[in-house]
Structure 1
Amino acid sequence: MTENAIHASPVAMAHSPKEASFGIRHRRGFMIAAIVGFLLTMVGALETSQIGFLPRLAYWEILMLSGALIGLGVSEMVEKWGRLRSRQWAEMPLIATLIALPLTLIVVGTSSIFFNTRQPTFDAFATMFVITFTISLIMTALNYFIHWPGKVIPETVAPPAHVEAGNAAPPKLAARLPLQYQQLEIIALEAEDHYLRVHFDDGASTLILMRLSDAIAELPAAHGAQTHRSWWVAKRAVNQIAKGDGRATLTLSTGVSAPVSRSFYKRLNDQGWLG
Protein backbone atom coordinates (compact mmCIF):
# COMPACT_ATOMS: atom_id res chain seq x y z
CA MET A 1 0.00 0.00 0.00
CA THR A 2 1.54 3.31 -1.04
CA GLU A 3 1.88 6.31 1.22
CA ASN A 4 -0.42 8.39 -0.99
CA ALA A 5 -3.09 5.72 -0.86
CA ILE A 6 -2.89 5.66 2.92
CA HIS A 7 -3.23 9.42 3.09
CA ALA A 8 -6.36 9.22 0.98
CA SER A 9 -7.90 6.15 2.65
CA PRO A 10 -11.68 6.57 2.76
CA VAL A 11 -13.04 4.73 5.79
CA ALA A 12 -16.76 4.09 5.64
CA MET A 13 -18.81 4.61 8.75
CA ALA A 14 -21.58 2.39 9.98
CA HIS A 15 -23.89 4.09 12.40
CA SER A 16 -26.40 2.54 14.66
CA PRO A 17 -29.83 1.93 13.20
CA LYS A 18 -32.66 3.54 15.12
CA GLU A 19 -34.58 0.54 16.32
CA ALA A 20 -36.39 -0.62 19.40
CA SER A 21 -33.84 -1.60 22.05
CA PHE A 22 -30.25 -0.44 22.47
CA GLY A 23 -28.86 -3.83 21.44
CA ILE A 24 -31.01 -4.20 18.34
CA ARG A 25 -30.41 -0.58 17.38
CA HIS A 26 -26.67 -1.01 17.08
CA ARG A 27 -26.20 -4.65 16.14
CA ARG A 28 -27.05 -3.94 12.52
CA GLY A 29 -24.53 -1.10 12.34
CA PHE A 30 -21.69 -3.34 13.51
CA MET A 31 -22.76 -6.11 11.15
CA ILE A 32 -22.73 -3.69 8.21
CA ALA A 33 -19.31 -2.41 9.25
CA ALA A 34 -17.91 -5.95 9.48
CA ILE A 35 -19.34 -6.91 6.09
CA VAL A 36 -17.96 -3.80 4.40
CA GLY A 37 -14.57 -4.46 6.02
CA PHE A 38 -14.60 -8.01 4.63
CA LEU A 39 -15.48 -6.79 1.13
CA LEU A 40 -12.68 -4.20 1.21
CA THR A 41 -10.34 -6.99 2.27
CA MET A 42 -11.43 -9.24 -0.58
CA VAL A 43 -10.84 -6.57 -3.24
CA GLY A 44 -7.62 -5.31 -1.66
CA ALA A 45 -8.96 -1.75 -1.63
CA LEU A 46 -6.49 1.16 -1.77
CA GLU A 47 -3.53 -1.07 -2.63
CA THR A 48 -3.81 -3.13 0.56
CA SER A 49 -3.41 -6.34 -1.45
CA GLN A 50 0.34 -6.13 -0.93
CA ILE A 51 -0.08 -7.75 2.50
CA GLY A 52 -1.52 -11.18 3.31
CA PHE A 53 -5.24 -11.87 3.63
CA LEU A 54 -5.39 -12.13 7.43
CA PRO A 55 -3.39 -8.94 8.13
CA ARG A 56 -5.46 -7.17 5.49
CA LEU A 57 -8.68 -8.41 7.09
CA ALA A 58 -7.47 -7.24 10.49
CA TYR A 59 -6.60 -3.81 9.07
CA TRP A 60 -10.00 -3.17 7.49
CA GLU A 61 -12.01 -4.64 10.35
CA ILE A 62 -10.16 -2.47 12.87
CA LEU A 63 -10.98 0.62 10.83
CA MET A 64 -14.58 -0.29 10.08
CA LEU A 65 -15.49 -1.45 13.59
CA SER A 66 -13.73 1.56 15.09
CA GLY A 67 -15.86 3.77 12.89
CA ALA A 68 -19.01 1.93 13.96
CA LEU A 69 -18.09 2.22 17.64
CA ILE A 70 -17.32 5.93 17.38
CA GLY A 71 -20.54 6.45 15.42
CA LEU A 72 -22.51 4.68 18.14
CA GLY A 73 -21.11 6.88 20.89
CA VAL A 74 -21.36 10.11 18.94
CA SER A 75 -24.93 9.54 17.76
CA GLU A 76 -26.04 8.59 21.27
CA MET A 77 -24.39 11.69 22.71
CA VAL A 78 -25.80 14.10 20.11
CA GLU A 79 -29.29 12.60 20.26
CA LYS A 80 -29.29 12.72 24.06
CA TRP A 81 -28.18 16.36 23.92
CA GLY A 82 -31.25 16.91 21.77
CA ARG A 83 -30.70 20.55 20.81
CA LEU A 84 -30.67 19.79 17.08
CA ARG A 85 -33.39 17.11 16.95
CA SER A 86 -35.61 19.30 14.80
CA ARG A 87 -32.75 20.53 12.59
CA GLN A 88 -31.36 17.44 10.88
CA TRP A 89 -29.45 19.59 8.38
CA ALA A 90 -27.28 20.75 11.31
CA GLU A 91 -27.26 17.55 13.37
CA MET A 92 -25.93 15.32 10.59
CA PRO A 93 -22.77 17.37 9.85
CA LEU A 94 -22.11 17.64 13.59
CA ILE A 95 -22.24 13.86 14.00
CA ALA A 96 -20.05 13.34 10.92
CA THR A 97 -17.45 15.83 12.18
CA LEU A 98 -17.29 14.26 15.64
CA ILE A 99 -16.79 10.85 14.05
CA ALA A 100 -14.19 11.97 11.49
CA LEU A 101 -11.91 13.70 14.02
CA PRO A 102 -10.90 10.63 16.07
CA LEU A 103 -11.30 8.20 13.18
CA THR A 104 -8.75 10.03 11.06
CA LEU A 105 -6.21 9.56 13.85
CA ILE A 106 -7.08 5.86 13.98
CA VAL A 107 -6.52 5.57 10.22
CA VAL A 108 -3.08 7.18 10.58
CA GLY A 109 -2.08 4.95 13.50
CA THR A 110 -3.42 1.73 12.00
CA SER A 111 -1.76 2.40 8.65
CA SER A 112 1.54 3.06 10.41
CA ILE A 113 1.34 -0.28 12.23
CA PHE A 114 0.33 -2.41 9.24
CA PHE A 115 2.25 -0.63 6.48
CA ASN A 116 5.09 1.12 8.33
CA THR A 117 4.17 4.50 6.83
CA ARG A 118 5.66 7.75 8.00
CA GLN A 119 3.65 10.46 9.74
CA PRO A 120 1.56 12.27 7.12
CA THR A 121 2.10 15.94 6.32
CA PHE A 122 -0.52 18.48 7.37
CA ASP A 123 -1.93 18.63 3.84
CA ALA A 124 -2.15 14.83 3.62
CA PHE A 125 -3.82 14.65 7.03
CA ALA A 126 -6.31 17.34 6.04
CA THR A 127 -7.14 15.45 2.85
CA MET A 128 -7.66 12.26 4.82
CA PHE A 129 -9.95 14.08 7.25
CA VAL A 130 -12.05 15.55 4.43
CA ILE A 131 -12.50 12.13 2.85
CA THR A 132 -13.38 10.53 6.19
CA PHE A 133 -15.82 13.34 6.98
CA THR A 134 -17.50 13.05 3.58
CA ILE A 135 -18.06 9.32 3.93
CA SER A 136 -19.22 9.78 7.53
CA LEU A 137 -21.74 12.37 6.38
CA ILE A 138 -23.04 10.12 3.60
CA MET A 139 -23.50 7.20 5.99
CA THR A 140 -25.13 9.44 8.58
CA ALA A 141 -27.58 10.77 5.98
CA LEU A 142 -28.42 7.23 4.85
CA ASN A 143 -29.14 6.14 8.41
CA TYR A 144 -31.33 9.19 8.96
CA PHE A 145 -33.24 8.49 5.77
CA ILE A 146 -33.81 4.83 6.64
CA HIS A 147 -34.40 5.04 10.36
CA TRP A 148 -35.40 8.59 11.28
CA PRO A 149 -38.87 8.37 12.91
CA GLY A 150 -40.00 11.66 11.47
CA LYS A 151 -39.59 10.82 7.80
CA VAL A 152 -42.58 10.87 5.42
CA ILE A 153 -45.38 10.26 7.88
CA PRO A 154 -48.84 9.91 6.39
CA GLU A 155 -51.14 12.67 7.54
CA THR A 156 -54.25 11.67 9.47
CA VAL A 157 -57.37 13.73 9.79
CA ALA A 158 -58.41 14.47 13.36
CA PRO A 159 -61.81 12.98 14.17
CA PRO A 160 -64.69 15.28 15.09
CA ALA A 161 -64.99 16.05 18.78
CA HIS A 162 -68.24 14.10 19.11
CA VAL A 163 -66.78 10.83 17.81
CA GLU A 164 -66.46 8.13 20.45
CA ALA A 165 -62.85 7.53 21.44
CA GLY A 166 -63.13 3.83 20.64
CA ASN A 167 -64.32 4.61 17.10
CA ALA A 168 -61.91 7.47 16.43
CA ALA A 169 -59.33 7.28 13.66
CA PRO A 170 -55.84 6.23 14.84
CA PRO A 171 -53.75 9.20 16.04
CA LYS A 172 -50.91 10.48 13.89
CA LEU A 173 -48.46 8.84 16.27
CA ALA A 174 -49.77 5.41 15.24
CA ALA A 175 -48.16 5.80 11.81
CA ARG A 176 -44.72 5.80 13.45
CA LEU A 177 -45.28 2.44 15.15
CA PRO A 178 -44.45 -1.04 13.86
CA LEU A 179 -47.29 -2.36 11.73
CA GLN A 180 -48.55 -4.85 14.32
CA TYR A 181 -49.19 -2.03 16.83
CA GLN A 182 -50.81 0.57 14.60
CA GLN A 183 -54.40 -0.50 15.25
CA LEU A 184 -54.01 -0.84 19.03
CA GLU A 185 -55.17 1.84 21.43
CA ILE A 186 -52.36 3.86 23.01
CA ILE A 187 -52.96 4.18 26.76
CA ALA A 188 -49.64 5.59 27.98
CA LEU A 189 -46.29 6.95 26.87
CA GLU A 190 -43.19 6.52 28.99
CA ALA A 191 -39.92 8.31 28.25
CA GLU A 192 -36.82 6.16 28.59
CA ASP A 193 -33.78 8.33 27.99
CA HIS A 194 -34.28 9.56 24.40
CA TYR A 195 -36.55 6.63 23.56
CA LEU A 196 -40.25 6.39 24.13
CA ARG A 197 -42.09 3.30 25.37
CA VAL A 198 -45.60 3.17 24.00
CA HIS A 199 -48.08 1.17 26.12
CA PHE A 200 -51.19 -0.35 24.51
CA ASP A 201 -54.58 -1.46 25.80
CA ASP A 202 -53.80 -5.15 25.29
CA GLY A 203 -50.80 -4.98 27.65
CA ALA A 204 -48.16 -4.87 24.92
CA SER A 205 -45.56 -2.12 24.57
CA THR A 206 -42.87 -1.07 22.11
CA LEU A 207 -39.97 1.36 21.96
CA ILE A 208 -39.56 4.13 19.37
CA LEU A 209 -36.99 6.87 19.02
CA MET A 210 -38.95 10.02 19.75
CA ARG A 211 -39.26 12.75 22.36
CA LEU A 212 -42.24 12.64 24.71
CA SER A 213 -43.26 16.21 23.86
CA ASP A 214 -43.31 15.45 20.12
CA ALA A 215 -45.38 12.31 20.66
CA ILE A 216 -47.91 14.11 22.85
CA ALA A 217 -48.37 16.69 20.09
CA GLU A 218 -49.46 13.87 17.78
CA LEU A 219 -52.15 12.57 20.13
CA PRO A 220 -55.65 14.09 20.48
CA ALA A 221 -55.52 16.50 23.41
CA ALA A 222 -58.82 15.25 24.78
CA HIS A 223 -57.61 11.66 25.12
CA GLY A 224 -55.18 12.18 27.96
CA ALA A 225 -52.62 14.35 29.68
CA GLN A 226 -49.02 14.48 30.77
CA THR A 227 -48.74 13.33 34.39
CA HIS A 228 -45.00 13.48 34.89
CA ARG A 229 -42.02 14.79 32.96
CA SER A 230 -41.61 11.22 31.65
CA TRP A 231 -45.26 10.11 31.32
CA TRP A 232 -48.44 10.73 29.35
CA VAL A 233 -51.59 8.77 30.23
CA ALA A 234 -54.94 8.22 28.50
CA LYS A 235 -57.67 9.21 30.95
CA ARG A 236 -60.01 6.36 30.02
CA ALA A 237 -57.30 3.81 30.88
CA VAL A 238 -57.05 4.86 34.55
CA ASN A 239 -58.52 2.20 36.88
CA GLN A 240 -57.18 3.16 40.29
CA ILE A 241 -55.69 6.25 41.91
CA ALA A 242 -53.42 6.36 44.95
CA LYS A 243 -52.77 9.84 46.32
CA GLY A 244 -50.41 11.17 48.94
CA ASP A 245 -48.05 14.05 49.75
CA GLY A 246 -48.90 16.07 46.65
CA ARG A 247 -48.24 13.15 44.34
CA ALA A 248 -50.28 10.28 42.96
CA THR A 249 -49.93 6.94 41.22
CA LEU A 250 -52.32 5.94 38.46
CA THR A 251 -52.91 2.23 37.89
CA LEU A 252 -53.98 1.60 34.31
CA SER A 253 -56.25 -1.08 32.88
CA THR A 254 -53.25 -3.25 32.01
CA GLY A 255 -51.73 -3.02 35.48
CA VAL A 256 -49.09 -0.47 34.48
CA SER A 257 -48.45 2.18 37.15
CA ALA A 258 -47.91 5.76 36.02
CA PRO A 259 -46.71 8.48 38.43
CA VAL A 260 -48.23 11.92 38.90
CA SER A 261 -45.53 14.36 40.00
CA ARG A 262 -46.02 17.44 42.15
CA SER A 263 -45.68 19.75 39.15
CA PHE A 264 -48.65 18.12 37.39
CA TYR A 265 -50.75 17.20 40.42
CA LYS A 266 -52.71 20.45 40.83
CA ARG A 267 -53.61 20.79 37.17
CA LEU A 268 -54.79 17.18 36.92
CA ASN A 269 -56.71 17.49 40.16
CA ASP A 270 -58.44 20.65 38.91
CA GLN A 271 -59.38 18.80 35.71
CA GLY A 272 -61.02 16.01 37.70
CA TRP A 273 -58.43 13.31 37.08
CA LEU A 274 -57.76 12.58 40.75
CA GLY A 275 -61.33 12.44 41.97
Structure 2
Amino acid sequence: MVARRLSGAERLMAEAGVVALIAVVVAVFDLIPVGTVSLGARLALWLAGFLAAWLVYLAAARVGIAVARLMGLADYWGHALAVPFVGLAVTYGVLALIGGADAMFGAQFGAVWVQALLVAAGFFALFFVLYARAEQAPVQEAAQEAAPDAPAPPAPAPAVPGVAVSALHQRLEPGFPPILALAAEDHYVRIIADGKSALVLMPLAEAAALMPEGSGAQVHRSWWLAQSAVTGQRRAGRDLQLMLHGGMAAPVSRSRIPQLKALGWLSP
Protein backbone atom coordinates (compact mmCIF):
# COMPACT_ATOMS: atom_id res chain seq x y z
CA MET A 1 0.00 0.00 0.00
CA VAL A 2 1.34 3.44 -0.92
CA ALA A 3 1.14 6.04 1.86
CA ARG A 4 -0.01 9.55 0.99
CA ARG A 5 2.38 12.28 2.08
CA LEU A 6 1.07 14.87 4.54
CA SER A 7 1.02 18.49 3.47
CA GLY A 8 2.54 21.15 5.72
CA ALA A 9 -0.87 22.07 7.19
CA GLU A 10 -1.70 18.41 7.80
CA ARG A 11 1.65 17.91 9.57
CA LEU A 12 0.87 20.81 11.92
CA MET A 13 -2.59 19.42 12.70
CA ALA A 14 -1.12 15.95 13.28
CA GLU A 15 1.53 17.34 15.64
CA ALA A 16 -1.10 19.33 17.57
CA GLY A 17 -3.23 16.20 17.86
CA VAL A 18 -0.35 14.11 19.22
CA VAL A 19 0.58 16.83 21.74
CA ALA A 20 -3.07 17.15 22.88
CA LEU A 21 -3.40 13.36 23.23
CA ILE A 22 -0.31 13.16 25.43
CA ALA A 23 -1.62 16.06 27.53
CA VAL A 24 -4.89 14.17 28.11
CA VAL A 25 -2.98 11.03 29.17
CA VAL A 26 -0.83 13.07 31.58
CA ALA A 27 -3.93 14.71 33.08
CA VAL A 28 -6.05 11.56 33.41
CA PHE A 29 -3.33 9.49 35.07
CA ASP A 30 -1.84 12.48 36.94
CA LEU A 31 1.64 11.60 35.61
CA ILE A 32 2.95 15.06 36.58
CA PRO A 33 1.42 15.73 40.02
CA VAL A 34 0.07 19.23 40.59
CA GLY A 35 -1.50 18.72 44.00
CA THR A 36 -5.13 18.10 44.88
CA VAL A 37 -6.60 19.39 41.62
CA SER A 38 -9.75 18.04 39.96
CA LEU A 39 -9.56 16.09 36.70
CA GLY A 40 -11.27 18.89 34.80
CA ALA A 41 -8.75 21.42 36.05
CA ARG A 42 -5.84 19.11 35.23
CA LEU A 43 -7.16 18.59 31.69
CA ALA A 44 -7.47 22.34 31.12
CA LEU A 45 -4.04 22.98 32.65
CA TRP A 46 -2.11 20.37 30.68
CA LEU A 47 -3.93 20.86 27.37
CA ALA A 48 -3.27 24.60 27.49
CA GLY A 49 0.28 24.14 28.77
CA PHE A 50 1.38 21.45 26.31
CA LEU A 51 -0.14 23.22 23.29
CA ALA A 52 1.39 26.54 24.34
CA ALA A 53 4.79 24.85 24.72
CA TRP A 54 4.37 23.29 21.26
CA LEU A 55 3.71 26.73 19.75
CA VAL A 56 6.83 28.08 21.46
CA TYR A 57 8.76 25.13 20.02
CA LEU A 58 7.57 25.90 16.47
CA ALA A 59 8.95 29.43 16.77
CA ALA A 60 12.21 28.31 18.41
CA ALA A 61 12.69 25.59 15.78
CA ARG A 62 12.64 28.20 12.99
CA VAL A 63 15.55 29.97 14.69
CA GLY A 64 17.31 26.66 15.38
CA ILE A 65 17.04 25.57 11.74
CA ALA A 66 18.53 28.88 10.58
CA VAL A 67 21.44 28.41 13.01
CA ALA A 68 21.96 24.80 11.86
CA ARG A 69 22.09 25.86 8.21
CA LEU A 70 24.55 28.62 9.05
CA MET A 71 26.78 25.98 10.66
CA GLY A 72 26.34 23.58 7.73
CA LEU A 73 24.30 21.05 9.73
CA ALA A 74 21.17 19.12 8.76
CA ASP A 75 17.81 20.67 9.67
CA TYR A 76 17.03 18.16 12.42
CA TRP A 77 19.91 19.63 14.44
CA GLY A 78 17.98 22.90 14.37
CA HIS A 79 15.05 21.18 16.05
CA ALA A 80 17.42 19.76 18.67
CA LEU A 81 18.86 23.23 19.32
CA ALA A 82 15.36 24.49 20.10
CA VAL A 83 14.81 21.99 22.93
CA PRO A 84 16.69 23.83 25.75
CA PHE A 85 15.02 27.14 24.87
CA VAL A 86 11.58 25.53 24.90
CA GLY A 87 12.42 24.06 28.30
CA LEU A 88 13.45 27.51 29.48
CA ALA A 89 10.17 29.09 28.33
CA VAL A 90 8.12 26.31 29.94
CA THR A 91 10.05 26.65 33.21
CA TYR A 92 9.42 30.39 33.45
CA GLY A 93 5.76 29.89 32.59
CA VAL A 94 5.18 27.16 35.18
CA LEU A 95 7.00 29.03 37.95
CA ALA A 96 5.15 32.25 37.13
CA LEU A 97 1.82 30.42 37.54
CA ILE A 98 2.64 28.79 40.84
CA GLY A 99 4.64 31.53 42.56
CA GLY A 100 5.05 34.65 40.46
CA ALA A 101 8.35 36.49 40.09
CA ASP A 102 9.78 35.09 43.33
CA ALA A 103 9.42 31.52 42.05
CA MET A 104 10.67 32.41 38.55
CA PHE A 105 13.99 33.59 39.91
CA GLY A 106 14.13 31.41 43.01
CA ALA A 107 16.14 28.37 44.03
CA GLN A 108 13.76 25.83 42.47
CA PHE A 109 14.36 27.15 38.95
CA GLY A 110 17.14 24.63 38.18
CA ALA A 111 15.12 21.57 39.22
CA VAL A 112 12.05 22.64 37.24
CA TRP A 113 14.18 23.41 34.17
CA VAL A 114 15.66 19.90 34.23
CA GLN A 115 12.14 18.42 34.32
CA ALA A 116 11.01 20.67 31.47
CA LEU A 117 14.09 19.70 29.43
CA LEU A 118 13.29 16.02 29.87
CA VAL A 119 9.71 16.55 28.67
CA ALA A 120 10.85 18.65 25.69
CA ALA A 121 13.52 16.10 24.77
CA GLY A 122 10.92 13.33 24.98
CA PHE A 123 8.68 15.14 22.50
CA PHE A 124 11.65 15.76 20.19
CA ALA A 125 12.55 12.05 20.25
CA LEU A 126 8.92 11.04 19.64
CA PHE A 127 8.48 13.26 16.57
CA PHE A 128 11.96 12.34 15.27
CA VAL A 129 10.96 8.67 15.29
CA LEU A 130 7.51 9.35 13.77
CA TYR A 131 8.90 11.43 10.90
CA ALA A 132 11.80 9.02 10.32
CA ARG A 133 9.27 6.21 9.85
CA ALA A 134 7.10 8.36 7.58
CA GLU A 135 10.06 9.16 5.32
CA GLN A 136 10.57 5.43 4.69
CA ALA A 137 7.10 5.08 3.13
CA PRO A 138 6.96 4.84 -0.69
CA VAL A 139 6.23 8.09 -2.51
CA GLN A 140 2.76 8.27 -4.05
CA GLU A 141 2.46 9.32 -7.67
CA ALA A 142 1.68 13.00 -8.09
CA ALA A 143 -1.11 12.67 -10.63
CA GLN A 144 -3.61 9.81 -10.88
CA GLU A 145 -6.69 11.61 -12.21
CA ALA A 146 -7.08 9.67 -15.45
CA ALA A 147 -5.57 6.77 -17.29
CA PRO A 148 -3.00 7.76 -19.91
CA ASP A 149 -4.24 8.02 -23.47
CA ALA A 150 -1.12 6.96 -25.29
CA PRO A 151 2.15 6.85 -23.33
CA ALA A 152 5.16 7.79 -25.39
CA PRO A 153 7.96 5.24 -25.56
CA PRO A 154 10.28 5.86 -22.59
CA ALA A 155 13.73 7.21 -23.28
CA PRO A 156 16.68 5.03 -22.33
CA ALA A 157 17.32 5.36 -18.62
CA PRO A 158 20.73 6.70 -17.63
CA ALA A 159 23.06 4.56 -15.58
CA VAL A 160 22.61 6.82 -12.53
CA PRO A 161 19.40 8.89 -12.87
CA GLY A 162 19.09 12.07 -10.85
CA VAL A 163 21.56 14.57 -9.43
CA ALA A 164 24.07 12.88 -7.13
CA VAL A 165 26.03 15.96 -6.01
CA SER A 166 24.50 19.36 -5.26
CA ALA A 167 24.49 22.17 -2.72
CA LEU A 168 21.09 20.90 -1.61
CA HIS A 169 22.69 17.63 -0.48
CA GLN A 170 24.51 19.65 2.21
CA ARG A 171 21.11 20.29 3.82
CA LEU A 172 20.36 16.55 3.95
CA GLU A 173 21.69 13.55 5.85
CA PRO A 174 25.01 12.12 4.65
CA GLY A 175 24.68 9.59 1.85
CA PHE A 176 21.33 10.88 0.59
CA PRO A 177 20.72 9.31 -2.88
CA PRO A 178 20.68 11.21 -6.19
CA ILE A 179 17.80 13.68 -6.34
CA LEU A 180 15.12 12.92 -8.92
CA ALA A 181 12.64 15.71 -8.23
CA LEU A 182 11.60 18.52 -5.90
CA ALA A 183 7.93 18.97 -4.99
CA ALA A 184 6.47 21.94 -3.10
CA GLU A 185 4.23 21.12 -0.12
CA ASP A 186 2.97 24.38 1.44
CA HIS A 187 6.06 25.99 3.04
CA TYR A 188 8.14 22.82 2.60
CA VAL A 189 9.90 21.11 -0.29
CA ARG A 190 9.88 17.34 -0.58
CA ILE A 191 13.21 16.13 -1.96
CA ILE A 192 12.53 12.90 -3.85
CA ALA A 193 15.14 10.23 -4.55
CA ASP A 194 14.89 6.60 -5.63
CA GLY A 195 12.99 4.93 -2.78
CA LYS A 196 13.57 7.78 -0.34
CA SER A 197 12.48 11.34 0.32
CA ALA A 198 13.06 14.16 2.80
CA LEU A 199 11.08 17.26 3.75
CA VAL A 200 12.94 20.58 4.08
CA LEU A 201 11.52 23.93 5.18
CA MET A 202 12.26 26.25 2.23
CA PRO A 203 10.58 27.58 -0.94
CA LEU A 204 10.80 25.51 -4.11
CA ALA A 205 12.69 28.31 -5.89
CA GLU A 206 15.38 28.31 -3.19
CA ALA A 207 15.77 24.53 -3.35
CA ALA A 208 15.98 24.58 -7.17
CA ALA A 209 18.66 27.27 -7.01
CA LEU A 210 20.82 24.86 -4.98
CA MET A 211 20.82 22.31 -7.82
CA PRO A 212 23.60 22.39 -10.46
CA GLU A 213 22.87 24.71 -13.37
CA GLY A 214 21.45 22.85 -16.36
CA SER A 215 20.76 19.66 -14.38
CA GLY A 216 17.00 20.12 -14.50
CA ALA A 217 14.10 22.52 -14.87
CA GLN A 218 10.92 23.62 -13.16
CA VAL A 219 8.07 22.00 -15.08
CA HIS A 220 5.21 23.16 -12.88
CA ARG A 221 4.74 25.76 -10.17
CA SER A 222 5.12 22.94 -7.61
CA TRP A 223 7.64 20.66 -9.38
CA TRP A 224 11.31 20.73 -10.37
CA LEU A 225 12.71 17.65 -12.18
CA ALA A 226 16.21 16.41 -12.84
CA GLN A 227 16.55 15.94 -16.60
CA SER A 228 18.40 12.64 -16.23
CA ALA A 229 15.48 11.26 -14.18
CA VAL A 230 12.89 11.85 -16.94
CA THR A 231 12.07 8.64 -18.81
CA GLY A 232 9.18 9.74 -21.01
CA GLN A 233 5.91 11.63 -21.27
CA ARG A 234 2.23 10.78 -21.32
CA ARG A 235 -1.18 12.38 -21.66
CA ALA A 236 -3.75 12.11 -18.86
CA GLY A 237 -6.85 13.60 -20.43
CA ARG A 238 -5.90 17.15 -21.47
CA ASP A 239 -2.97 17.25 -19.06
CA LEU A 240 0.62 16.42 -19.91
CA GLN A 241 2.81 14.51 -17.47
CA LEU A 242 6.49 13.60 -17.40
CA MET A 243 7.42 10.12 -16.26
CA LEU A 244 10.34 9.69 -13.88
CA HIS A 245 12.70 6.89 -13.00
CA GLY A 246 10.82 4.55 -10.68
CA GLY A 247 7.42 5.06 -12.30
CA MET A 248 6.51 8.37 -10.70
CA ALA A 249 4.66 11.05 -12.73
CA ALA A 250 4.81 14.85 -12.45
CA PRO A 251 2.42 17.38 -14.02
CA VAL A 252 3.61 19.88 -16.66
CA SER A 253 2.20 23.39 -16.78
CA ARG A 254 0.89 24.42 -20.20
CA SER A 255 2.87 27.67 -19.96
CA ARG A 256 6.13 25.70 -19.67
CA ILE A 257 5.57 23.35 -22.60
CA PRO A 258 7.30 25.60 -25.22
CA GLN A 259 10.38 25.97 -23.00
CA LEU A 260 10.57 22.22 -22.36
CA LYS A 261 10.22 21.49 -26.08
CA ALA A 262 13.08 23.91 -26.80
CA LEU A 263 15.20 22.06 -24.21
CA GLY A 264 14.43 18.73 -25.89
CA TRP A 265 12.45 17.37 -22.94
CA LEU A 266 9.24 16.95 -24.95
CA SER A 267 8.61 15.50 -28.37
CA PRO A 268 7.20 17.97 -30.95
> TM-score, with normalisation over the residues of structure 2?
0.53
Match of 1:60 among 46, 49, 71: 46
Partner of 1:103: 90
- Distance in 2 between residues matched to 1:209 and 1:147, nearest whole Å: 9
Aligned partners of 1:231 and 1:258 also within 8 Å: no
- Distance in 2 between residues matched to 1:135 and 1:70, nearest whole Å: 14
Partner of 1:33: 19
Alignment of 1:74-113 (within 5 A): 74-79=60-65, 83=69, 86-87=73-74, 90-112=77-99
Cα gap change, 1:213 to 1:140, in 2 (>3 Å): farther
Amino acid paired to 2:61: S
- Distance in 2 between residues matched to 1:85 and 1:143, nearest whole Å: 22
Alignment of 1:1-275 (within 5 A): 20-79=6-65, 83=69, 86-87=73-74, 90-112=77-99, 119-148=103-132, 165=155, 189-191=182-184, 195-196=188-189, 209-210=199-200, 225-226=216-217, 232-233=224-225, 234=227, 253=241, 254-256=251-253
Aligned partners of 2:65 and 2:76 also within 8 Å: no
TM-superposed CA distance for 1:44, in Å, is 2.6
Aligned partners of 2:20 and 2:51 also within 8 Å: yes
Over the aligned positions, Cα root-mean-square deviation in angstroms equals: 5.1
**Structure with max Cα Rg:** 1
TM-superposed CA distance for 1:80, in Å, is 6.1
Deviation by residue 1:196-246 (Cα, 9 ceiling, x = unmatched)? 2689xxxxxxx9613769988xx9x9x951459x8633465599xxxxxxx
TM-superposed CA distance for 1:195, in Å, is 1.7
Aligned partners of 1:49 and 1:56 also within 8 Å: no
- Distance in 2 between residues matched to 1:55 and 1:64, nearest whole Å: 14
Aligned partners of 1:33 and 1:64 also within 8 Å: yes
Cα gap change, 1:70 to 1:258, in 2 (>3 Å): farther
- Distance in 2 between residues matched to 1:118 and 1:270, nearest whole Å: 71
Aligned partners of 2:188 and 2:199 also within 8 Å: yes
- Distance in 2 between residues matched to 1:81 and 1:226, nearest whole Å: 29
Identity over aligned pairs, percent: 21
TM-superposed CA distance for 1:50, in Å, is 0.4
- Distance in 2 between residues matched to 1:145 and 1:136, nearest whole Å: 14
Gapped runs of 5+ residues in structure 1? 1-18, 155-163, 174-185, 200-206, 240-250
Cα gap change, 1:237 to 1:215, in 2 (>3 Å): farther
Deviation by residue 1:155-180 (Cα, 9 ceiling, x = unmatched)? xxxxxxxxx6466799689xxxxxxx
TM-superposed CA distance for 1:38, in Å, is 1.7
Amino acid paired to 1:101: L
Gapped runs of 5+ residues in structure 2? 139-153, 164-178, 242-250
Aligned partners of 2:183 and 2:224 also within 8 Å: yes
SS at match of 2:34: helix
Cα gap change, 1:117 to 1:232, in 2 (>3 Å): closer
TM-superposed CA distance for 1:142, in Å, is 2.7
TM-superposed CA distance for 1:51, in Å, is 1.8
Aligned partners of 1:26 and 1:72 also within 8 Å: no
Cα gap change, 1:48 to 1:147, in 2 (>3 Å): same
TM-superposed CA distance for 1:132, in Å, is 1.2
> TM-score, with normalisation over the residues of structure 1?
0.52
Aligned partners of 1:190 and 1:197 also within 8 Å: yes
SS at match of 2:6: coil
TM-superposed CA distance for 1:122, in Å, is 3.6
Aligned partners of 1:145 and 1:151 also within 8 Å: no
Cα gap change, 1:194 to 1:165, in 2 (>3 Å): farther
Cα gap change, 1:77 to 1:20, in 2 (>3 Å): farther
Cα gap change, 1:151 to 1:136, in 2 (>3 Å): same
